[in-house]
Structure 1
C-alpha cells in the first residue's frame, strides 16, 4: 500500500494519497488545497486517481476538490449526512475562510460499513458523527484515516454546524473498539495509534 501525506491549504490539513502498489489505482482523502502539489505527487508516483474521498465537508478539507475533479474526473465520495454541508458555503465555512466559496455535490454518497475498492485495496467506511453529522473514518488494512474525529491527544471541535459533543464521544467509543495496533492518520497533526489514544487521550480514557 502506498500512502503519501501532503499538508495542504492555509489551515494545514493532512491530505492523503492512498494507492495500490500493483494496479496503481489511488484515492485522495481530504484535498484541502495545493491541488498542483497533489497532482504532481500522483504523476510522480505513476498513480491513477479514481476517487476523492471527504471525511467531512468543512472548507479546510475540500478546498482543492473542484480542481482535482476537473483535472482527473475522479468521483467525489462523502457520507450522505454531509450533503447539506457540502452544498452550502455557509455551513461548510468557505464563505468565511480565506479561500474561494465552495458548494459541491458528491458523485457517490456513502453509508456506514460501505466498502470501496481501490485496485486491490478495500476501504471500509466507518460513520463517526460528532464533528459534523456526516463525518467518516476510512479503515484500510492496518491503518485508519480519522479526519477531524480523532487527533493525537485530542478530538475535533463540536461547536460548528451539525457538531455535537455527546455524539462525537459515542463515535470515539466505536473507534476504541478497533485493534490497538491500528495506525491513525488524522486530519491534522501527527500520526498515532488506537492503543496509544486509549491510554493517553482524555476524551477516550475518562469515559
Structure 2
C-alpha cells in the first residue's frame, strides 16, 4: 500500500491518498482540492472509497464535491453521520467554513472490517473529540484522525467532546503494537512506541 499525504486548508489538515493494486481511497478530504479528484479519477479501474474519521469541517469540507466529481461513495462512523449535515456540530458555522450539508453512503461500526480492493481496514470507534470519531487500522498503519497526535491528543471543548471519553479512546489505541505507525489528522506522523514514551496524555 502506498500512502501519500496532502495538506489542505489554512489549518493544514492531513488528507491521505491510499493506493493498492486494486484500491484507491481518500481519507479526510477536508477542503476542496483538484488533487483528490484527480487521484480518484485516475484510479477509476480500482475499487474506490472516501473515508472520514470525524464530522468536523476541516475533515469533511471537500467530501460532497469530491463525491459529485468522482461518483465515489463516502463512509463515516455511524454516530458522526448526522453531524455531517449540522453546521453547528461540525463547526462550519463557527469557523465560517460554508460546508455543504450531506450524508454518508456507508455507516461504519466499531470493530468491523472494511475491505476496499486489496486493502482491509479495521474500524476503531474513538469518541471524545467528537461523539463518534473512528480510526482506521490496516496492517501496521493507524489513521487516527484528531484522537491521537504526535505528543498530544484532540481537543474536547467542541460539541460532543469529552475529556474522560477521549482518554479511554487513546488508551485503546495505545494498546496497539509498538511498531504501529500513526497518521494523525494534523501534524507529524508518529508511532505507538513514541507516544508511550513521550505523550503525557496517554496515561
Smaller-chain TM-score bracket: over 0.9
**What do you get for the CA RMSD once the two structures are aligned?**
1.6
Q: Is the CA contact 1:8–1:14 (under 8 Å) kept in the aligned structure 2?
A: yes
- Measure the CA separation in 2 of the matches of 1:48 and 1:64: 21
Q: Does residue 63 of the first structure (1) align with residue 58 of the second (2)?
A: no
Q: 1:111-167: per-residue Cα shift (whole Å, max 9, x none)? A: 101111121111110001000011111001111000000000001100101000000
Q: Which residue pairs with 1:128 in the alignment?
A: 126
- Measure the CA separation in 2 of the matches of 1:156 and 1:13: 13
Q: Which residue pairs with 1:193 in the alignment?
A: 191
Q: Which residue pairs with 1:19 in the alignment?
A: 19
Q: Does residue 3 of the first structure (1) align with residue 3 of the second (2)?
A: yes
Q: Is the CA contact 2:52–2:75 (under 8 Å) kept in the aligned structure 1?
A: yes
Unaligned runs of 5+ in 1: none
1:162-173 mapped onto 2 (5 Å cutoff): 162-173=160-171
Q: Is the CA contact 2:181–2:190 (under 8 Å) kept in the aligned structure 1?
A: yes
- Measure the CA separation in 2 of the matches of 1:28 and 1:48: 13
| Cα distance, 1:37 vs structure 2 | 1.8
Q: Does residue 81 of the first structure (1) align with residue 64 of the second (2)?
A: no
| Cα distance, 1:98 vs structure 2 | 4.0
- Measure the CA separation in 2 of the matches of 1:47 and 1:12: 30
Q: Which residue pairs with 2:136 in the alignment?
A: 138
- Measure the CA separation in 2 of the matches of 1:69 and 1:47: 16
- Measure the CA separation in 1 of the matches of 2:61 and 2:11: 10
Q: Give TM-score, length-normalised by structure 2.
A: 0.94
Distance 1:124 1:33, change over 3 A: same
- Measure the CA separation in 2 of the matches of 1:176 and 1:101: 33
- Measure the CA separation in 1 of the matches of 2:165 and 2:146: 13
Q: Is the CA contact 1:182–1:194 (under 8 Å) kept in the aligned structure 2?
A: yes
Distance 1:87 1:34, change over 3 A: closer
| Cα distance, 1:75 vs structure 2 | 1.0
| Cα distance, 1:73 vs structure 2 | 1.3
How many residues are aligned here?
203
| Cα distance, 1:48 vs structure 2 | 4.0
Equivalent position to 2:179, from 176, 181, 184: 181
Q: Is the CA contact 2:84–2:90 (under 8 Å) kept in the aligned structure 1?
A: yes
